[in-house]
Amino acid sequence: MFSFFHPDRPKNPELQEGRLLAMGDVHGCLRPLRKLIDKISPTEADRIVFLGDYIDRGPDSKGVIEYLLDFQKKFPQAVFLKGNHEEMFLNFLSGQDQSIFLYNGGASTIESYQESGGIRIPKEHLQFFQELKLSYETEDYIFVHAGLRPYIPVNRQRTEDLLWIREDFLQSDYDWGKTVVYGHTPRREPLLEEKRICVDTGAVYGHSLSCCDVKRRTCWMA
């Protein structure tokens, strides 16, 4: 069960503590991202964790990265995780697995970075991709893009699993001792379970982009 943002919510001292927020897969959907951030109205007390897959398939991957870089300057406490699509893009730029990147929606990203018949990746964009984290932990939560391999500690997880895993994670009831917050596998609405939260709601497939206050299990969608 989840609740939507209400613009007339009453002021509550609890809200002043700062929220721990998780943002689902953006996939080049700049307009929903802007709308959702406006709904959330983040403050310096909040920490927002972006779960990866900022690019590919959607109409404005470059615009999304520009927006996130600006957001990072305003909110340096924000955390940006790497998704499998960022990994594929970096491989593409280094000359590896180029067909795999294009097959998985990379052509739209290439198009967004085209200038004068060529591809130009601004230095700060490339640095952004290179510095993305694979996971982020707090006392009660583990944030990853795709999920975790059951029975393996977080610090021993393979990069491939953190970025790509699906069924082996989704079908397991293994408990890592914390709530795992992830994206990667799109749903029609957020999944809010005691030990799992999924906030990928398929924005690039015509559905919503979602963000969740993981402590209070409150979600916003745009």
In sequence order, what are the beta bridge partners of 198? 182, 191
Q: Is residue 9 part of a domain?
A: no
* Ranges in the chain, pLDDT < 70: 1-16
Q: Is residue 91 part of a domain?
A: yes
Determine how many CB atoms are found less than 10 A away from the CB of residue 104. 15
Helix axes 123-130, 61-74, angle to 10 degrees: 80
- What is the residue range of 212's domain? 18-145+179-221
pTM of the model: 0.91
Contact 149, 158 (CB under 8 A): yes
Q: Is residue 216 part of a domain?
A: yes
Contact 75, 21 (CB under 8 A): no
Q: Is residue 10 part of a domain?
A: no
Domain total for the chain? 1
Q: Is residue 6 part of a domain?
A: no
Render pLDDT for 74-83 as a digit per residue (tens, 0 to 9): 999 999 999 9
Q: Is residue 11 part of a domain?
A: no
Q: Which single residue is written with the structure tokens 């307009």?
A: 31
**CATH code of the domain covering residue 27:** 3.60.21.10
Q: For position 16, what pLDDT does the model report?
A: 62
Q: For position 12, what pLDDT does the model report?
A: 47
